[in-house]
Amino acid sequence: MAETKRKGSLLSFRPDIKVLDATLRDGGLCNDFRFTDEFARALYAANVAAGVDFMELGYKASKKLFDEDKFGKFKFCDEDAMRAVVGENKSDMKLCVMADVGRTEFESFLPRKESVFDMVRVACYLNEIPTAIRAIEHCKKLGYETCANLMAVSKAKDEDIDDALRMLGESGVDCIYLVDSYGSLYPEQVAKLTLRYLEAGEKYKKIIGVHAHNNQQLAFGNTIEAASWGASYLDATMNGMGRGAGNCSLELLLGFLKNPKFDLEPVLQFLSDYMLPLRQSGTVWGYDVPYLLTGRLNMHPSAAIAFVREKRTDLAAFQRELTEHD
């Protein structure tokens, strides 16, 4: 079992911690990925100036499955379109893209040396692990760094998680992510899961990351809880922008971390220049009671997203609907 001792304190400087900005990817779920090039370029510049380690540009979704007319370019992340936004990326920040198992044509990926991307994050459910591993090995052969983002683990049995970690441990993946897809986990649960992941990480020499959702206003708390036990890759988004209740806020995370390379001011400037106007334009994300209700019931947030979209206010009735179907 991984050593049950926190890796430092709240005041510790941890050089192994890397921050990943997922605004364009998770935030894109709020506006069908219709960000302007100006927004994306300014976000890229802010992340570079702030010392962020990774920036996720979006999804690598199949155009056979998704209509290009219904989504912005960051749903598909075509190489030429992304290069037009970020150029040749001569910064130290690495660029990554998320690829969902079953929704991505992995054979379309260029070799890393020809690509704007440095890392591919393969997202899957536990029953998709064998397919995910094939995709990961393909991306590794092309030269990419890789992550496996295990979704909805709050619904999984311990033995299934252990099997998944063993299979991924024996693969070539570089990093395994603990993902609280439904925003249902509490810090004590996150601590136990992080230790389970770290045990596999130590055995197989894998990095462990965390991706949290804010349904119960715990995305930041759960992220630093996982970090305190040894998780190294930490996901966040500008102003917490992400599907439904959103994610860990980048401004909170950078304000907390003790690495002197991080600079909060470029993030604050971006919030003023771009995130506040985005909210004012009508794009909706962030904590709201309907997301609390699906989170506490460990449910996918789709019902809460529909509740908010329909501008319903009958919260008690909504809870009854959820519990009747739970």
Structural domains of the chain sorted by starting position, each given as residue range(s) with its CATH number in brackets: 18-280 (3.20.20.70), 289-325 (no CATH)
Contact 251, 238 (CB under 8 A): yes
At 83-134, the pLDDT tens digits run: 999 999 999 999 999 999 999 999 999 999 999 999 999 999 999 999 999 9
Eight-state DSSP code of residue 272:
I
Specify the pTM: 0.96
Query: What is residue 326's predicted lDDT score, i.e. its pLDDT?
Result: 60
**Following DSSP, what letter does each residue of 139-180 receive, concatenated?**
HHHTT-EEEEEE--GGGS-HHHHHHHHHHHHTSS-SEEEEE-
Residue type, 122: V
Contact 303, 315 (CB under 8 A): no
Contact 236, 223 (CB under 8 A): yes
At 127-184, the pLDDT tens digits run: 999 999 999 999 999 999 999 999 999 999 999 999 999 999 999 999 999 999 999 9
Q: Nearest-CA neighbor of 60 among 94, 110, 14?
A: 110
Query: What is residue 33's predicted lDDT score, i.e. its pLDDT?
Result: 98
Query: What is residue 168's predicted lDDT score, i.e. its pLDDT?
Result: 98
